[in-house]
Amino acid sequence: MAVDRSGECVTLAPGGLLLDGELVPLLAGSVHYWRLARESWRPCLSALRGLGLGLVDVYVPWGVHETAPGELDLGQTDPQLDVAAFLRLAHELGLWAIVRPGPHINAELTYLGLPERVVWDPVCQARSPAGHPVILPAMPRMFPVPSYASEAYLDEVTRYYHALGPTLAPLRYPDGPIVVAQIDNEGAFFFRDGVYDQDYHPDAIRRYRAFLRAKYGTIDALREAYGSQLRRSPSSVPPSADQAVTEPSLRFANVEPPVRFDASDVAELAYHLDWAEFQEQLLATTLGKFATALKAAGLSGVPTTHNFPLAQETTPLNAGRVAEAVDLIGYDYYGGASPDNRSSVARRTSELAVRSEAMGVPAFACEMGAGFPPYFPPLSHNDSAFTVLCALAYGVRGFNVYMAVERDRWVGAPLDSEGRPRNAADFWRKLSAALRATSFHELRRAVPVRLLVPRVERRLARVMHAFGPATGALFSLMGKGARESCLEVDLGMGYPLAIEADTFARSFEQALDARGVPFALVGGEDRDRSLAGAQWILCATSGGFSPQLAQRLREARQAGARITVGPRAVVRDGALRLLDEPLLGHDEVELLDRSDPASADAAVSRAVETLGLPSYSCDAAGVYATVHEDAGGVVRVAFVINPTARDLVARVALGWDGEFRDLIDGGGTRSEDGVLELRVGPKTVRMLARKEG
């Protein structure tokens, strides 16, 4: 077993990785060695370097390598599976490596890279409320997904890690190229993430009961919190989700979780919100167990990461909790050049960027789409270029080009399977050169406004989702939110509970965008630190959030931030139970009890004047601008984004004069009298560097 070198050589920094004190930006490209002829490895890796990417991103597919339980072919029989040789070659060519050994890797593989025997093992399978296996309708073959709670599945994963570890451990930095290890992949219940979709595996139920015991302490406290919603499993018959509990034999050991949303009063929400919170904890703690097992197998001494999928806000992935299991959380990006995608990228990236900055780590795109799998809607090179430039505009500091090299079940990579560049390669080469020339990984986007959506609002949207097994992610990807996807019920509150906060947040998002005020969405995890440095915090709430979040707002106010809450006063806790007194007093917050756009516009205008907020507004409707500063506060890079289908001349209010050059297309322009005027083609983003002097 390798010696644990945790923390000795590789550490995370806001700009990337520190390798013995040298800062290396996280610019990577994905290459799937097992899908390439071995003689193509060298030209493909050399071409990757030619794109200006310093790291290779490497999946290690469990199901491809396994020959028997606990036994792997790592090149002994099939030379194409010699991952160690591939990594040594990458090191020889001057590349560092991100290894991603799963267990789930997706990679458009049948069974998402898992062994067939594992997914068909009943003790490993996630369970529906009726106790059936949970089936993922994946291409090319549907299959039952594993349970993140299953101890049998964890045992199988641990055995796989220990079979793989001796091969990878000697290749860690500084002896080899491995500088980052990813734990699992898009860990949101294998895309079956509806709150009542899973997981009712017996091991999950045991962990749910332990969660309740830790949270409430006594069964009497639980009974008081849940009231008539509390249900138990009788010892003599199979569990019934509809049996109300009044018997004195109630114990934590026989409490049953909800199987559908059936609350008729706000007092009954705690039962459902706790189930949603438990799912967040289940994923985070299991990812932590995977990380511990991988380190024990020899992959210690390098930072760990995990990638959140598209529409991560609709899933049970809680960044505040997952950050306790891994060192770096990154996001995946795929999408077309459109106003909806621009909004989605801005929303997701701003949240990622302010969280990453607060934690002293890079805002990283674990998968920055270059192409698409053949069963996705087609994405052009222009779509990929638009998405990556948008992500950089809103704060991403590094990315992994997925895919950099072509392979089966993928269309549109910039390099073919023999390493020959395609037309798209020129863009990625220019972009990498631009990022290095401007030291973009060391810049920052100042974001004085935070649009805070407490975690309870995201849980509400999950438990009150109106479309059954259709995941809320589908609505998010279409640019829709709670207004379009949640039940319009008031539970005795007099207003649609899951919808008001979403309406409030979107009204302010539109108002801030219209004025060009830099803002970031903040997910409201109680353990997060994303409020640091804010001048104005807008909290969208339907009337309640946790006391811990209230304390964070109080601390932000003491640091000088203005706190605005709406459309409801905070008179309830994180389970929307009525409190004896409000969490935040009238002397601590400004209450806006209206959520119409006019009210939001007026509030933003007042804040710009009274707080002196920066404003980079554009006179062309639908065009947006962002700026990025160096450590001295000097603007070095600006982005102008046109997601519309119109060719526009935009005038951007920068507030200062200077010359700029286009980092991708060349050419120059100048801002005069504080205004930058330039042409922006349809569905494009211009990346501009401010000239010295």
Are 658 and 642 in contact, with CB atoms under 8 Å apart?
no
pLDDT value at 7 more than 50? no
The least confident of 102-111, 583-592, 680-689 is 583-592
Fold of domain 624-690: Immunoglobulin-like (2.60.40)
Q: Give the per-residue pLDDT at 14.
A: 96
Q: Give the per-residue pLDDT at 346.
A: 97
| Strand, helix or coil for residue 677 | strand
CA 569 distance to own-chain centroid: 29
pLDDT value at 611 more than 70? yes
Please, which pLDDT band fits residue 335 given cuts at 50, 70 and 90? Answer: very high
Average confidence (pLDDT) over 205-230: 93
pLDDT value at 246 more than 60? no
Residue with token string 């701003």: 350
Q: Give the per-residue pLDDT at 164.
A: 98
Closest CA to 336 of 291, 379, 369, 305: 379
Q: Give the per-residue pLDDT at 239.
A: 47
Largest CA distance in the chain: 82
Average confidence (pLDDT) over 184-207: 96
pLDDT value at 8 more than 60? no
Are 114 and 104 in contact, with CB atoms under 8 Å apart?
yes
Please, which pLDDT band fits residue 154 given cuts at 50, 70 and 90? Answer: very high
Of all residues in the chain, the percent with pLDDT exceeding 70 is 95
Q: Give the per-residue pLDDT at 115.
A: 98
Please, which pLDDT band fits residue 599 given cuts at 50, 70 and 90? Answer: confident
Average confidence (pLDDT) over 158-172: 98
Please, which pLDDT band fits residue 667 given cuts at 50, 70 and 90? Answer: confident
Distance between CA atoms of residues 499 and 480, nearest Å? 12
Residue with token string 């500063």: 629
Q: Give the per-residue pLDDT at 199.
A: 97
Average confidence (pLDDT) over 25-31: 98
Are 56 and 97 in contact, with CB atoms under 8 Å apart?
yes
Average confidence (pLDDT) over 211-232: 91
Average confidence (pLDDT) over 664-671: 91
pLDDT value at 4 more than 50? no
pLDDT value at 573 more than 50? yes
Distance between CA atoms of residues 506 and 597, nearest Å? 9
Average pLDDT, the chain: 92
Dig out the tokens for 657 from the structure.
């004069």
Q: Give the per-residue pLDDT at 594.
A: 67
Average confidence (pLDDT) over 567-596: 85
Q: Give the per-residue pLDDT at 478.
A: 77
| Strand, helix or coil for residue 182 | strand
Please, which pLDDT band fits residue 1 given cuts at 50, 70 and 90? Answer: very low
Architecture of domain 449-611: 3-Layer(aba) Sandwich (3.40)
Inter-CA distances, 318 with 83, 257, 314, Å: 32, 20, 10
pLDDT value at 237 more than 50? no
Please, which pLDDT band fits residue 2 given cuts at 50, 70 and 90? Answer: very low
11, with CB counted inside 10 A (0-12, 13-18, 19+), is middle
Average confidence (pLDDT) over 367-372: 97
Task: Concatenate the DSSP letters of all residues of 70-83 into one string.
Answer: TEE-SSSS-GGG-H
Closest CA to 529 of 450, 459, 585: 450
The least confident of 50-54, 211-215, 246-250, 350-354 is 246-250
For residue 211, the surrounding DSSP H or E stretch is helix 202-216
Q: Give the per-residue pLDDT at 303.
A: 97
Of all residues in the chain, the percent with pLDDT exceeding 90 is 82
Distance between CA atoms of residues 618 and 607, nearest Å? 19
Distance between CA atoms of residues 681 and 210, nearest Å? 56
Are 284 and 251 in contact, with CB atoms under 8 Å apart?
no
Beta bridge partners of 180: 98
Q: Which residue has the higher pLDDT, 373 or 244?
A: 373
Q: Could you read off the pLDDT of 492-509 as tens digits, one per residue?
A: 998 998 898 999 999 999
Average confidence (pLDDT) over 411-419: 97
- Would you tell me which CATH number, out of the four given (3.40.190.10, 3.60.40.10, 3.40.50.300, 3.20.20.80), belongs to the domain 10-114+147-192+283-439? 3.20.20.80
Average confidence (pLDDT) over 42-68: 98
> What are the residue boundaries of the structural domains of the chain, listed by start?
10-114+147-192+283-439, 202-256, 449-611, 624-690
Average confidence (pLDDT) over 2-22: 77
| Strand, helix or coil for residue 13 | strand
Q: Give the per-residue pLDDT at 234.
A: 63
Q: Could you read off the pLDDT of 80-101 as tens digits, one per residue?
A: 999 999 999 999 999 999 999 9
Please, which pLDDT band fits residue 605 given cuts at 50, 70 and 90? Answer: very high
Average confidence (pLDDT) over 600-607: 93
Q: Give the per-residue pLDDT at 476.
A: 83
Q: Which residue has the higher pLDDT, 231 or 361?
A: 361
